[in-house]
């Protein structure tokens, strides 16, 4: 008892001088002299009420973040902040008085900082108030039938990151046509993060200088017989730090519709600090779903929140047509295989007009072997995944063209029944997947997950098939028959994909 009392009183007396220095008005509010672009801190407010210290840090990404676990250690205030990202473990941040200033050191996510702040006047602090906006009450948004089969097209992110511009998008549209990929089904040309500029005085979001005229670009893409997509976030900032739709949801939906946009990828990004419950995340997607519907334009709605809160169970209810099931893909076998083999969305969530989205393709970007890219393509097709090219379609090797335009494999992906295939056999070295097709046949994927060749042999009956009067190899495009048994040799990380009748 006594010990505990002593401990508390020591902490309390240590706390007083710090709180006196940092918390008493007008010293309670501090304005940062500068901040890194992420997390773009603007001010700190520390308050002491009845001997209890509380504090809030404001960030242009995350709004007001309460100081958690706030305590005094000697002459330093120590606390944590939580940006709502479940992958980030908050670490200690320290604030110390330094003459007339305070100094804050620490780290948030990947960003370390060492910043000074000066005493803020009332006016200065008020100007940094971060606005909050009400969310709509729970409703179901009628889903438009815009994606009867998984959407196919191209997206700028995997290859170009934010280094994307009007000229490149036009050239990509041209290349989709001239390479035959458009005829193979890839029709959406989607601009990901990095197109945004600032809002004008009426709040209308403008593209940045790399996109001089979005409407003209949309017209151009449409003139090539293609459709155009764009990207935004319900947060104040997109993942790349560009302007999000926070506080401008309806206005942005109207802007996109006015430009002639056909597809919106809506990415939670900095919104994860504001919206970190299933209800609030739902409400933000509902809000954009309703805003898109109100424009009257047909716009495919792609939900990107990394598979949180069982999104597949409610993605359709916000008018969504596809929803990411994981964090980002990378152009390497380990990450692709983890997403494709080990982190699938629930099969009962996928089907016509609403698809589990294991992220975009990396085929052609150079980080995997040809066999690994065939595995990637085969797996995505068996899963009925959206097929969004992530490479530079202006310059492709013949192998890349052959993989991406393999119509036998694309037909498995686009099968109108919209069934997500499943593994029927899984062990350390291999997996066998099947997918029921609308014509009564079955697509089969034999996958080698090991880094040396293996032979897979067995009887069709062991993988749930009665027999095989006709077996088409979808990568060699040859037909065989084999009544009872199969045997295939697979290269390292390779695949044999079949359509079996």
Provide the CB-side half-sphere exposure for 74 (13 A, CA): 5
Rounded to a whole number of angstroms, the minimum distance from the CB of residue 379 to ligand GLA is 18
Rounded to a whole number of angstroms, the minimum distance from the CB of residue 150 to ligand GLA is 17
143 versus 305: smaller Cβ distance to ligand GLA: 305
Beta bridge partners of 188: 153, 227
Rounded to a whole number of angstroms, the minimum distance from the CB of residue 359 to ligand GLA is 7
Q: Residue 328 interacts with ligand GLA (CB under 6 A)?
A: yes
CA angle in degrees (0–180, nearest 5) for 328-333-339: 45
How buried is residue 201: exposed, middle or buried, by Cβ count under 10 Å (0-12/13-18/19+)? exposed
Closest CA to 250 of 210, 204, 186: 204
**Residue choice 106, 235, 236, 240 for contact with ligand GLA (CB under 6 A):** 240
Rounded to a whole number of angstroms, the minimum distance from the CB of residue 444 to ligand GLA is 30
Rounded to a whole number of angstroms, the minimum distance from the CB of residue 165 to ligand GLA is 16
22 versus 339: smaller Cβ distance to ligand GLA: 339
Rounded to a whole number of angstroms, the minimum distance from the CB of residue 193 to ligand GLA is 3
Stretch 422-481 residues interacting with ligand GLA (CB under 6 A): none
CA distance 310 to 313: 6
CA distance 315 to 285: 9
Closest CA to 401 of 160, 184, 174: 184
Judge whether 165 counts as a catalytic residue.
no
CA distance 131 to 15: 31
Rounded to a whole number of angstroms, the minimum distance from the CB of residue 240 to ligand GLA is 4
Q: Given the residues 64, 258, 328, 408, select the one marked as catalytic.
A: 328
**Residue choice 102, 135, 214, 239 for contact with ligand GLA (CB under 6 A):** 239
CA distance 107 to 357: 32
User: Residue 235 is encoded by which pair of tokens?
Assistant: 């947060």
219 versus 310: smaller Cβ distance to ligand GLA: 310
> If binding means CB under 6 A, how many residues of this protein chain bind ligand GLA?
9
Q: Residue 330 interacts with ligand GLA (CB under 6 A)?
A: no
User: Residue 33 is encoded by which pair of tokens?
Assistant: 């002299």
Spatial neighbors of 250 by CB under 8 A, at least 6 apart, are: 291, 294
Rounded to a whole number of angstroms, the minimum distance from the CB of residue 257 to ligand GLA is 21
Stretch 22-51 residues interacting with ligand GLA (CB under 6 A): none
Q: Which stretch binds ligand GLA (CB under 6 A): 11-19, 236-244, 334-342, 429-437?
A: 236-244
67 versus 304: smaller Cβ distance to ligand GLA: 304
Beta bridge partners of 117: 32, 102
Q: Residue 238 interacts with ligand GLA (CB under 6 A)?
A: yes
Judge whether 317 counts as a catalytic residue.
no
Q: Residue 192 interacts with ligand GLA (CB under 6 A)?
A: yes
Q: Which stretch binds ligand GLA (CB under 6 A): 136-144, 233-241, 420-428, 479-487?
A: 233-241
Provide the CB-side half-sphere exposure for 179 (13 A, CA): 28
CA angle in degrees (0–180, nearest 5) for 325-339-360: 70
271 versus 418: smaller Cβ distance to ligand GLA: 271
**Virtual CA dihedral for 288, 292, 295, 296, nearest 10 degrees?**
-150
269 versus 497: smaller Cβ distance to ligand GLA: 269
Q: Residue 362 interacts with ligand GLA (CB under 6 A)?
A: no
Q: Given the residues 165, 166, 192, 267, select the one marked as catalytic.
A: 267
Q: Which stretch binds ligand GLA (CB under 6 A): 206-214, 237-245, 293-301, 391-399?
A: 237-245
Element (H, E) at 222: helix 214-223
Stretch 242-281 residues interacting with ligand GLA (CB under 6 A): 267
Q: Which stretch binds ligand GLA (CB under 6 A): 110-118, 235-243, 427-435, 440-448?
A: 235-243
> Coil, strand, or helix at residue 164?
coil
> Coil, strand, or helix at residue 205?
strand
CA distance 190 to 227: 8
Tell the residue number behind the tokens 């694309």, with chain if given. Answer: 410
Strand locations in 120-223 (E): 152-155, 188-190, 196-199, 205-207
Parallel, antiparallel, or unpaired: how do β-strands 101-108 and 93-98 relate?
Answer: antiparallel
Binding site for ligand GLA (CB under 6 A): 157, 192-193, 238-240, 267, 304, 328
Active site residues: 267, 328
């Amino acid at each position: 008892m006594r010990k505990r009392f002593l401990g508390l009183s020591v902490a309390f007396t240590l706390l007083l001088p710090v709180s006196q220095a940092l918390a008493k008005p007008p010293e309670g509010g501090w304005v940062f002299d500068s901040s890194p672009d992420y997390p773009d801190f603007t001010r700190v407010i520390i308050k002491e009420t009845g001997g209890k210290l509380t504090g809030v840090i404001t960030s242009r990404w995350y709004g007001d973040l309460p100081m958690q676990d706030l305590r005094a250690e000697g002459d330093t205030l120590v606390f944590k902040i939580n940006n709502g990202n479940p992958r980030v473990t908050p670490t200690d941040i320290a604030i110390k008085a330094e003459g007339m200033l305070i100094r804050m050191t620490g780290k948030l996510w990947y960003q370390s900082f060492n910043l000074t702040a000066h005493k803020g006047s009332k006016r200065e602090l008020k100007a940094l108030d971060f606005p909050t906006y009400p969310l709509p009450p729970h409703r179901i948004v009628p889903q438009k039938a815009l994606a009867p089969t998984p959407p196919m097209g191209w997206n700028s992110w995997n290859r170009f990151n934010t280094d994307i511009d009007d000229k490149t998008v036009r050239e990509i549209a041209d290349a989709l046509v001239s390479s035959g990929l458009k005829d193979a089904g890839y029709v959406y040309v989607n601009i990901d993060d990095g197109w945004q500029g600032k809002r004008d005085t009426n709040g209308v979001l403008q593209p940045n200088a790399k996109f001089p005229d979005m409407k003209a670009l949309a017209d151009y893409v449409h003139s090539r017989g293609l459709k155009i997509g764009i990207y935004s976030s319900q947060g104040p900032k997109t993942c790349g730090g560009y302007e999000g739709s926070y506080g401008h949801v309806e206005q942005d939906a109207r802007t996109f519709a006015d430009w002639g946009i056909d597809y919106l990828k809506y990415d939670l990004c900095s919104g994860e600090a504001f919206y970190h419950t299933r209800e609030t995340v739902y409400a933000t997607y509902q809000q954009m779903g309703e805003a898109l519907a109100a424009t009257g334009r047909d716009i495919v709605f792609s939900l990107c929140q990394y598979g949180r809160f069982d999104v597949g169970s409610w993605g359709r209810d916000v008018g969504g047509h596809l929803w990411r099931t994981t964090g980002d893909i990378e152009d390497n076998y380990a990450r692709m295989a983890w997403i494709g083999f080990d982190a699938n969305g629930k099969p009962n969530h996928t089907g016509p007009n609403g698809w589990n989205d294991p992220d975009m393709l990396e085929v052609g970007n150079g980080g995997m072997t040809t066999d690994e890219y065939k595995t990637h393509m085969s797996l995505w097709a068996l899963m009925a995944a959206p097929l969004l090219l992530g490479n530079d379609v202006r310059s492709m090797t013949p192998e890349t063209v052959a993989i991406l335009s393999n119509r036998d494999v694309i037909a498995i992906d686009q099968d109108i029944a919209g069934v997500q295939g499943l593994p029927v056999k899984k062990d350390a070295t291999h997996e066998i997947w099947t997918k029921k097709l609308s014509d009564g046949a079955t697509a089969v994927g034999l996958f080698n997950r090991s880094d040396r060749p293996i032979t897979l042999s067995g009887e069709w009956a062991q993988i749930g098939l009665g027999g095989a009067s006709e077996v088409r190899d979808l990568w060699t495009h040859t037909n065989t028959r084999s009544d009872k048994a199969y045997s295939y040799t697979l290269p390292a990380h390779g695949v044999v994909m079949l359509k079996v009748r």
